[in-house]
Amino acid sequence: MGAAQPGNYPRKRQPSPGCGPLIPPLSESARPLRQQIFERVRAAGLIARVQVAKDLSVSPASVTTLTSELIEAGYLEEVQAPREADTGRGRPAVALGVRAQAHHVAGIKLSDREHTAVIVDFAGNLVAGEAIPRAPGAMEIPAILDAAEALLANVCAKAGVPVSSLSAIGVGVPGFVDTMTGVVHWSPVLDGRHVPLAAAVTERVGVPVHIDNDANLVTLAELWFGAGRTLSDFAVVTIEHGVGMGYVINHRIYRGAQGVGMELGHTKVQLDGALCRCGQRGCLEAYVADYALVREAQTALNLLSHRENQSIGTLLESLYDHAKAGNAAARSIFHRAGRYLALGLSNVVNLFDPELIILSGDRMRYDYLYAKETLAEMQAMCLNTGRSAPRIETHAWGDLLWAHGAAALALHEVTEGALGSVREMAAQ
């Protein structure tokens, strides 16, 4: 990373929408001012010093001093800001922006359907993405390390960024993940429990690795790049092979005291109920996730009983086609799953009172799961406070959504470390 050279003119750059939470002024006064300034610039994309001072309610002199340090360290840069009516007269407007090339990070999602990865620069811009399909089922540790290493090599080659130059890697897996220790206590993609996956990937690729539950990473993607940037409190519920949830409180993701909270899919909705893939019975996931729908279809519909060699995705598409065609048994399977989902969502509302609930994941294309009658039943099970229910939106980002959230995790960790280095430098 090179520091800005004195006397260089600001370079021209296309406006950036920015990335990261758009936190209201004075809501995080405990954070160092230098870090607040950097995050304000990153969130804005391009912003003038005077506007930073106004947003943070601090003196322009303080902003000038601290941004000069950040420019000298190579984290921010001066950019000629575009103007609506540029007459060519006078000095061009100058704004602050993040120096995109200061760092590059990778985000990786390891799943039982496909592995995905992205490379993102320090300003949050997507540089390259890659997806590799895989056979479903749990993998032994050496095999999943091989897969992660190969995927990382491919996406770095696309981006023209050597693996060794990455500042950090974010990794997401489904299951119970302790992000503080980097240990995966259980995951359907791993053949084993209590796996120190972050340390194992770090040792294999030689780059610091940070790991989290995949639903938390979808939530981070919404917080950093999507609809959650301006919201202080919102929930993301993901439905794919499993059911996951992430929750943001006061613009920060909440993980619980031991880092493994918000497991909505494993809350119990039926005593001694259906067997969940986690090994327990009666979990919400065991009634809503794709393997639950297929299980019900194989029991209720003879048309699927002879298709054991077909993938779950193929069976689900067949079930959905029959439901759309009016098959009563197929429609009842989706209706039952929708009722269980409504129960789970009403519990989220009653516990947390979110401003917004985002439904995400591949299975949300099955509109029976969020039909009007499903959402009406959710509202009926919520506490009757006389206020309107939270907004519910269905988002479809595409295959790289999860990896984008993993990149946000890596960016967060790099930012904390980078600004710590600046503080140490300034104190010397």
Q: Tell me: pLDDT of 306 over 60.
A: no
Decide: 183 and 200 in contact? Cβ < 8 Å: no
Q: Rounded distance, CA 68 to CA 139, Å?
A: 49
pLDDT of res. 155: 98
Average pLDDT over residues 398-405: 86
> Considering the domain 229-394 in this protein, what is its CATH number?
3.30.420.40
| Contact of 227 with 175, CB cutoff 8 Å | no
pLDDT class of 7 with cuts at 50, 70, 90: very low
Pairing type for strands 126-133 and 183-186 reads: unpaired
> What was the pLDDT predicted at 92?
59
What is the per-residue pLDDT for 308?
52
Say if residue 85's pLDDT is above 80: no
Q: What fold does the segment set 103-219+401-416 form as a domain?
A: Nucleotidyltransferase; domain 5 (3.30.420)
Average pLDDT for the chain: 86
Q: What does the pLDDT average to over 298-317? A: 66
* pLDDT of amino acid 165: 97
pLDDT at 317: 84
Q: Is 118 within 8 Å of 107 (Cβ atoms)?
A: yes
pLDDT in tens, 264-280: 999 999 999 999 988 89
* Average pLDDT rounded to a whole number, residues 106-115: 91
Cα–Cα distance for residue pair 297/317, rounded to 1 Å: 11
Q: How far is CA 46 from the centre of its chain?
A: 23
* pLDDT for residue 426: 41
- The secondary structure of 77-141 as a DSSP string is EEEE---SS--S-SPPPEEEEE-GGG-EEEEEE--SSEEEEEEEETT--EEEEEEEE--SS-B-H
Distance CA 293, CA 305 (A): 13
Burial 400-413 (b: 16+ CB within 10 A, else e): bbbbbbbbbbbbbb
Query: Once rounded to an integer, what is the mean pLDDT over residues 83-88?
Result: 55
What pLDDT score does 395 carry?
86
Q: What's the Cα-to-Cα distance from 32 to each of 187, 273, 371, 415, 422, rounded to whole Å?
A: 37, 50, 46, 13, 11
Assigned CATH class of 11-101: mainly alpha
CATH 1.10.10.10 positions along the chain are: 11-101
Confidence band for 135, pLDDT divided at 50, 70 and 90: confident
According to DSSP, the β-strands at 209-213 and 252-254 are unpaired
* pLDDT per position as a tens digit, 337-379: 999 999 999 999 999 999 999 998 877 778 877 788 888 899 9
Tens digit of each residue's pLDDT (9 = 90 or more) over 197-238: 999 999 999 999 999 999 999 999 999 999 899 999 999 999
Closest C-alpha to 247, from 271, 266, 228, 269: 228
pLDDT at 30 over 80: no
pLDDT digits (tens, 9 = 90+) for 379-391: 999 998 888 888 9
Residue with the larger pLDDT of the pair 319 and 150: 150
Mean pLDDT, residues 75-80: 93
The 3-state DSSP class for residue 13 equals: coil
Q: What is the mean pLDDT of residues 238-263?
A: 89
Decide if pLDDT at 26 tops 80. no
Q: What is the mean pLDDT of residues 66-90?
A: 80
Structure confidence by residue, pLDDT tens digits, 169-182: 999 999 999 999 99
Contact 170, 217 (CB under 8 A): yes
- Every domain range in the chain assigned CATH 3.30.420.40: 103-219+401-416, 229-394
**pLDDT at 415 exceeding the cut of 60:** yes
pLDDT of residue 88: 55
Rounded to an integer, the average pLDDT of 288-315 is 72
With a pLDDT cut of 70, the percent of the chain lying above it is: 87
- Who wins on pLDDT, 9 or 298? 298
112 neighbors 188 (Cβ within 8 angstroms): yes
**Is residue 297 pLDDT above 70, yes or no?**
yes
